[in-house]
Copies of this chain bind each other. A is one copy, B any other.
C-alpha cells in the first residue's frame, strides 16, 4: 500500500485532508506539531482525529517555534484580534508551513513515502504566503532536489485537496467522507476547557462554513457565545 504523510493540526481542514488521503488509498502517517502554540487542545484533537480516521501511525513532533516570537499564535505578548479582513494576519507564524513540510519530507524519506497531504487553502487564508499554490509547487521541487532520488522520474507530490474549496465545500466534502467535526478544534483563543471563543477569525470562518453548508455546527463554544 502506498504511504502518505498527512499534516494534522487538530482543525477542520486537516481532518478533511486525512479523510481524503484515506479515500485516495494511502496508508496514512499523521504528523502533528507541538510547536509552542498556546492551546494544547489542538494536539488531543489531532490524536482523536487520527484514530477516528484510521491513520496507521500518529506522531507529535516537538519544536519550539515560539522562542523567537513574531506571532499571536505563539507569543503571549501579542493579543489574538477579533475577526477582520486586512492584510497578513497577526496569527501568521513565520515560515511555519515550510518548517512543517520539511519535517514531513524528512519522515517521508525515511518511510519511502513521497506523498504529503496539507490542508492549505487559498480562499479563506489568502493572507498567509505559505498557503499559496506557488509556494507549495516550489516546495515540492525543493524537496526533490534536496532528498535522495528514487528513480529518474521521481518527485514529491504535495497534495492540497482543499486549495480551491470554500469552508462550506470543505465541510460538505468531509461529511461525505465520514469526518466527525466535533472532534476538531479551530479556535485561536479557546477557554481553559478547550471551548471555542466564537469571536476570532478562525471561529468566524468555521461557523460561517457550517451555516453555508447547511450542516449543524457541532463546535463546543464558551458560555454565552452567539452568532449574528
Contact = CB atoms under 8 A, between A and B. Distances in A.
Contacts of A68: 106-107, 110-111
A95 interface: yes
Interface residues of A, number: 43
A142 B145 contact: no
A63 interface: yes
Interface of A: 59, 61-65, 67-70, 88, 92-99, 101-103, 105-107, 109-111, 129-130, 132, 134-135, 138-139, 141-143, 145-149
A142 B148 contact: no
Contact of A92 (B69, B98, B148): B148
A163 to B, nearest CB: 15
B109 A94 contact: yes
A175 B88 CA distance: 45
A109 B141 CA distance: 22
Nearest to A137: B145
A129 B149 CA distance: 9
Given A63-B62, A139-B142, A146-B139, A106 B94 contact: yes
Nearest to A139: B142
A105 B99 CA distance: 9
A141 to B, nearest CB: 6
25 contacts: A61-B67, A62-B64, A63-B63, A63-B103, A65-B106, A68-B111, A69-B110, A88-B148, A93-B106, A94-B109, A94-B110, A95-B102, A95-B105, A95-B109, A95-B143, A95-B147, A98-B147, A99-B102, A130-B146, A132-B145, A134-B145, A135-B146, A139-B142, A139-B146, A142-B142
